[in-house]
């Protein structure tokens, strides 16, 4: 297993993430809807919206597993936030980054992963919208576009929450 690198802008990324007040916030239907749809549309047993913090990855929403957080060093999504493109892992057993991960070796026995970053500002990726399967598979171009569209939707929802919280905290707004 290869540990994920730390992004060059990690301090800025974590400060931005902290300003969102999203870590460990309550489950919200608007995010649950996205993960349910991903499971149905892409025919996967597990879908999630993850937030990658300093030491842990936490799911804002997840379908198909009871896991709500994992150590960052075992996180697929911690690798996803390192790149601008969607990360696709057709078979985690054959990928040196994940072959020894407890998520691969034990329940939920992940074999396939695809994740599109939650990008909220230029170069600041706070997590991912991701899908998992217990068997190896490929991601079609159409499936990739669907995953990326849902990542954009989730990013927009998070941005909207942030803007709303600023206005709610402002004494200048009637």
**Mean per-residue pLDDT for 107-132?**
95
Confirm whether 156 is domain-assigned. yes
Domain of residue 36 covers 10-168
Confirm whether 5 is domain-assigned. no
**Residue 40: predicted pLDDT:** 98
Show the tokens assigned to 162: 């942030």
Confirm whether 173 is domain-assigned. no
**Residue 165: predicted pLDDT:** 53
Residues 58-93 have pLDDT tens digits of: 999 999 999 999 999 999 999 999 999 999 999 999
The mean pLDDT of the chain is 92
Q: Do residues 151 and 159 lie in contact, with contact meaning Cβ atoms separated by under 8 Å?
A: no
User: 166 pLDDT exceeds 60?
Assistant: no
**Residue 100: predicted pLDDT:** 86
CATH number at residue 66: 3.30.450.40
**Mean per-residue pLDDT for 152-159?**
94
Percent of the chain with pLDDT over 70: 93
- Residue 140: CB atoms within 10 A of its CB come to 10
- Residue 19: CB atoms within 10 A of its CB come to 11
Percent of the chain with pLDDT over 90: 80
Q: Do residues 16 and 126 lie in contact, with contact meaning Cβ atoms separated by under 8 Å?
A: yes
- The confidence band for 26, taking pLDDT boundaries of 50, 70 and 90, is confident
How do beta strands 56-63 and 69-71 pair?
antiparallel
- The confidence band for 108, taking pLDDT boundaries of 50, 70 and 90, is very high
Give how many domains the chain has, as a whole number: 1
Confirm whether 154 is domain-assigned. yes
- Residue 76: CB atoms within 10 A of its CB come to 27
């Amino acid at each position: 297993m290869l540990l994920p690198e730390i992004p060059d802008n990690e301090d800025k990324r974590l400060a931005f993430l902290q300003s969102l007040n999203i870590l460990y916030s309550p489950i919200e239907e608007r995010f649950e809807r996205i993960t349910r749809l991903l499971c149905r549309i892409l025919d996967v047993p597990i879908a999630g919206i993850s937030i990658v913090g300093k030491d842990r990855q936490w799911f804002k929403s997840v379908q198909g597993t009871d896991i709500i957080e994992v150590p960052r060093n075992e996180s697929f999504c911690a690798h996803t936030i390192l790149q601008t493109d969607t990360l696709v892992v057709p078979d985690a057993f054959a990928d040196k980054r994940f072959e020894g991960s407890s998520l691969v070796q034990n329940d939920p026995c992940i074999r396939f992963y695809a994740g599109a970053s939650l990008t909220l500002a230029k170069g600041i990726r706070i997590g991912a919208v991701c899908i998992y399967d217990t068997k190896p598979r490929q991601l079609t171009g159409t499936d990739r576009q669907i995953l990326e569209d849902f990542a954009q939707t989730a990013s927009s929802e998070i941005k909207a929450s942030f803007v709303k919280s600023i206005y709610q905290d402002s004494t200048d707004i009637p």
